[in-house]
Chain A
Amino acid sequence: MTISISNTLNTDRHLSADRRLRRFEDIRQLLPDIDNPSPLVRVNRIVPSASQVFLKLEWFNPFGSIKDRAAAYLLSGLEERGALAGRRLVEASSGNTAIALAALAALTDTPIIITIPEGVPEEKKVLLRMLGAEVWPTPDDLCPVDNPRDGAIALARSIVESDGGEGYVWPDQYSNPDNVRAHYETTGPEIWRQTEGQIRTFVAGFGTCGTISGVGRYLKERDPSILVVGVEPQPGHRLPGLKSFREAKTPAIFDREVVDEVIQVDDEPAYAMTKRLFREEALMVGPSTGAVLEAITRLISLGLVSGLDSPGLTVGISPDSGFKYTSFFAAGLGEEGLPEDESRKTEDGR
């Protein structure tokens, strides 16, 4: 059976699927949309109960992250424009877009090269290679003269613009409006419906800015008073998927008009909050979710989001799960959670 990428966004996907029975003819039929939304789960213990904070768990998507949405739209757009035929895909990604693109590309035997920042966890690089992608680990400062801290993006661009580049096509998630459209047409409407229009605050990290631009635009059109907040990491951060615009270029698709506030969150509080989400909420999230919830707790402290005096819901994006970051977590845990070394105890005389 052959299903083209475009079909994932068209009616064919519904012909044989029975969502009530959770029976599907093709993995792409699990891609999220208004009728198949990713779950909203309330944060019950970390934030005060009066603050109705929900996380949208994007790791329930078929390829494991929020980037499933953008990847499907990016490929669908390329296919509809005839730009994909016979070419190899090239994309710069910190992993999640790459994984979704590689999974979709695998279904159509489309070769794909991923230029990936060197600091991305090994787990993501291995998953990409398992999917058949060619992975090019790239230093952020590969091109210090013209492209500070964006080495993977510069490398992807140079592949498609060099001689022989006509054999390649670059979805370019940082500049392609289809990335924003994915969230304007799916994530935004899902949140509006799931909160029954009661959302008052939306919080998402800065990365490609497709999510915050698309969801922010949709929500502002429904109710301009909804607070849209972006989360920005520190320069030199270790929060894959997020971007600090103090060191990286602002993506062309970023719509500043829909963002009301920006909260800076450094690595340490983001990882500490990630651990709390594991241990207090049983939410096994990736570190960017920790950054998002850390920002929400600060907004609560500042009285900027809903509480006893101002009803309404806060929704934060949880882009992915923690499974792809276990090596990062292990480094942070040290000896924590391991059995005590009895021999050392004796040597120390304790």
Chain B
Amino acid sequence: MTTPIQEVTETLDTSGLLCPLPVYKAGLVLSRLAPGEVLHLITTDPGALEDIPALARQRGDALLGVDNQGSRQLFWIEKGSQQ
């Protein structure tokens, strides 16, 4: 998946945090965003490559893009409308 061209509403940098802490913090931010707004999430735990897509599926959000840069992972998540 490539980096999407999308306006980011909020950026959350969880560098240094181990899963599921980034998942939890991302969930908190997404909960207060409005439908259609986009969270740009930065993680450094490779476990996030599985956990964040699972979070988006669970919540009904859209995972717009993932950029795995090795030492860190970038995600773009759009808040779903069914919440």
Interface residues of A, Cβ cutoff 8 Å to B? 136, 138, 141-147, 151, 154-155, 158-159, 161-164
Contact = CB atoms under 8 A, between A and B. Distances in A.
B54 A145 contact: yes
B83 to A, nearest CB: 14
Contacts of A146: 19, 47
A163 B16 contact: yes
B47 A159 contact: no
Contact of B20 (A142, A163, A164): A142
B17 A158 contact: yes
A85 to B, nearest CB: 23
A281 B20 CA distance: 44
Interface in B1-48: 15-21, 23-24, 27, 47
A155 B17 contact: no
Nearest to A138: B24
Nearest to A146: B47
Given A141-B58, A144-B54, A145-B47, A163 B17 contact: yes
A35 to B, nearest CB: 43
A99 B24 CA distance: 22
A162 B17 contact: yes
Given A141-B58, A145-B47, A145-B54, A161 B24 contact: no
A154 B24 CA distance: 11
Contact of B23 (A136, A142, A161, A162): A142
A136 B54 contact: no
A145 B58 CA distance: 12
Nearest to A144: B54
Nearest to A160: B18
Nearest to A164: B16
A162 B47 CA distance: 13
Contact of A155 (B24, B47, B58): B24
B16 A155 contact: no
Q: Considering residues B17, B20, B50, B58, which has the most beta carbons from chain A within 10 angstroms of its beta carbon?
A: B20
By Cβ-Cβ distance, the 4 closest A-B pairs, closest first, are A163-B16, A143-B20, A158-B21, A162-B17
A147 B54 CA distance: 13
Nearest to A115: B24
B21 A155 contact: yes
Given A143-B51, A158-B18, A162-B17, 7 more contacts: A142-B20, A144-B51, A144-B58, A145-B51, A147-B20, A154-B19, A158-B19
Contacts of B15: 163
Contacts of B50: 145
